[in-house]
Copies of this chain bind each other. A is one copy, B any other.
Amino acid sequence: MAKNSLTIRDIAKMAKVSHTTVSRALNNDPKISAKTQKRILAIVDKLGFKPDARARNLVLKKSNLIGLVVTDIRNPFYAELARGIEDKAHQVGYNVIFCSTDHKPERMDSYVHLMLDVGIDGFIFASSRLHEPVVEKLIAERFPLVLVNRKIKGEGFNYVVLDNFRGAYDITQHLIDLGCKKIAIVDGPSSVFTGLERLRGFQRALKDNKIALKPEYIVQDNFSRATGYEGAKKLLEMKDRPEAIFAGSDYIAMGVFDATEALGLRIPEDVALVGFDDTEFASNQRIRLTTVSQREYTMGSMGVQILIDYIENKELDYTHKVVLESHLIIRESCGHKLHRPGAGVPKVLSLAKSR
């Protein structure tokens, strides 16, 4: 494809066979004699001949390309997910195209069509809203896709998500175990699966512990650093400010750190903080953010696996509904000084996940 504009016919000429036979040699077709194949492959090798993928794609109706749709590739969570997807895809001979939608429906639309235009074989959607018309349309058309990280409403698709409810519940319970009662949340929007489930898990944990939740303690916007900054500022300037903040993502937590430092407050002494995702930021020794691990790398590679199965077997099989277990990662940001007498100091895990 690169330099040579050699074709299968040129090779055929040199090998004194038909181009059909060359094609067979290239594709390891059983109906070709070992020795002619060997002879042909030798020539192919010597000339560095590469069959033209475009022609191949056309007749095979396949591109070995998958499209990944995320909110923003710069978000460390998505970057890690993308890496998991890339590695697995590469293993099985696929390439991945990515795009960042910035939560904007029009970007979503335009990208989906751009990808469809290049002829991708399937999609991995990582950032859908609960109600996402473009995705629903693709599902109705049975276009191969898998949802990862966030599900949408309805049926008829495969997905891999984290048990967000459980993760949020556990980390909230942890704060409660440490003695916190006035706990606020700065979360992503309820219009997406992750935002909604984390809020629900949070609310449920409070309820199960008979702790009242003030409506003002719920702040929701995007899963962004800016949201964390604004949200924390608002919360911490209240007369009755919370003792602890549950940030719906580490990225939000990053903004909370910005705000507390700007306000001259200390974490965890003045306010406890926990996050969600376990990004590299969280594990930094100057940050030490208690958080929920998502294993997004794994999530990505499982997603690819399911998608490729679907693409290659063409069975309309919607039985791949994976819910990954969440893991609480305890570090110091949640405030040891608050812990219940007799409960023992929570174990502080060190550095990062291995990479």
A118 sits at the interface (CB 8 A): yes
What is the number of residues of chain A that contact chain B, defined by CB distance less than 8 Å? 61
Using A83-B74, A96-B98, A97-B95 as known contacts, say yes or no to A284 and B285 having CB atoms under 8 A apart.
no
Contact B53 A119 (CB under 8 A): yes
Query: Is A163 in contact with chain B by the CB < 8 A criterion?
Result: no
CA distance A269 to B313 in the complex (A): 62
Contact assessment for B257 and A50 in the assembled complex, using a CB-CB cutoff below 8 Å = no
Partner of A258, one of B114, B115, B284: B284
A residues 232-277 near B (Cβ < 8 Å) are: 254, 257-262
Q: Are B58 and A55 in contact (CB under 8 A)?
A: yes
- Residue from the list B95, B111, B355 in contact with A114, Cβ < 8 A: B95
A18 interface residue, CB < 8 Å from B?
A: no
A63 touches B54 (CB 8 A): yes
Instruction: Check if B65 sits within 8 Å of A58, measured CB to CB.
Output: no
Within 8 A of B (CB), among A220-237: 225
A208 sits at the interface (CB 8 A) = no
Interface residues of A in 271-295 (CB under 8 A from B): 280-281, 284-287
A258 near B97: Cβ-Cβ < 8 Å: no
Contact A118 B285 (CB under 8 A): no
Residue among A95, A141, A261, A355 with most chain B CB within 10 A: A95
Residues of the B chain whose Cβ atoms lie less than 8 Å from the Cβ of A138: 2
Closest CB in chain B relative to A258 CB, distance in Å: 4
Let me know if B114 and A93 touch, CB within 8 A: yes
Q: Do A2 and B141 form a contact, CB below 8 Å, given A284-B281, A286-B286, A287-B286?
A: yes
Among B73, B117, B351, point to the contact of A82 (Cβ < 8 A). B73
The one of B53, B76, B90 in contact with A99, judged by C-beta atoms closer than 8 angstroms, is B90
- The answer, among B58, B61, B257, for a CB contact under 8 Å with A285, is B257
Given known contacts A50-B116, A54-B119, A72 and B63 CB-to-CB distance under 8 angstroms: no
Can you name 13 extra interface pairs (CB under 8 A) apart from A1-B117, A287-B287? A2-B138, A3-B141, A53-B118, A54-B61, A57-B57, A73-B79, A73-B83, A74-B80, A254-B280, A257-B285, A258-B285, A280-B281, A281-B281
